Amino acid sequence: MPDELGTLVGSPICPGCKVGHLLPELAEGDEEDDDCVEDVAECVWGCAKCGKRVCGAPVRDLVAVLRQRLEGCGSDEEALEEFLSVTGTLLHQNHYLR
Ligand SMILES: [Zn+2]
C-alpha cells in the first residue's frame, strides 16, 4: 500500500456541523488500551468543533467501504479522481487509514 493512500483517506467530517472532523475518543478507563484505537467500532468518535459524539460502528463501516473502493481504484487515475470527489466531503486528510 503506497503512502499516498494514507493522505487520500481523511478523517470523517462531522455529520453535525459539517465543519469539524471526527476523531476517535478512548472510552472511559481505556486510556492505556491500544486495542481501542485499532478497533474503532469500540470507540466513540467526537467532534472538536460542536462536541457531537458518534459511536464507532458506522464510522468503521464507512471507512471500510471507502478503503474497499480506494483499493478497487488501483492505479486508474479516473477512478481515483472520482473517489476523491466523492469522499472529499466525507473525509479529512491525515486520517489514520492507509
Ligand atoms: Zn461537529
Q: With 50 as the cut, is the pLDDT of residue 86 above it?
A: yes
Q: Measured in angstroms, how far is the CA atom of residue 22 from the centroid of ligand 1?
A: 7
Distance CA 58, CA 54 (A): 8
Q: Measured in angstroms, how far is the CA atom of residue 76 from the centroid of ligand 1?
A: 33
Domain extent listing, the chain:
4-87
pLDDT in tens, 24-76: 776 555 455 554 445 556 778 888 899 998 887 887 788 788 888 888 888 89
Q: Name which of 5, 11, 3 is nearest 74 in CA terms.
A: 5
Q: Measured in angstroms, how far is the CA atom of residue 78 from the centroid of ligand 1?
A: 31
Q: Which amino acid, one-letter code, is at 80?
A: L
Q: What is the pLDDT of residue 51?
A: 92
29 in the Ramachandran plot: left (φ > 0), alpha (ψ -120 to 50) or beta?
Answer: left
Q: What are phi and psi of 44, to 5 degrees?
A: -100, 135
Q: What is the pLDDT of residue 50?
A: 95
Q: Measured in angstroms, how far is the CA atom of residue 91 from the centroid of ligand 1?
A: 13
- 5 vs 70, residue with greater confidence: 70
Location of C-alpha cell 487509514: 97
Distance CA 27, CA 80 (A): 35
Q: Measured in angstroms, how far is the CA atom of residue 50 from the centroid of ligand 1?
A: 4
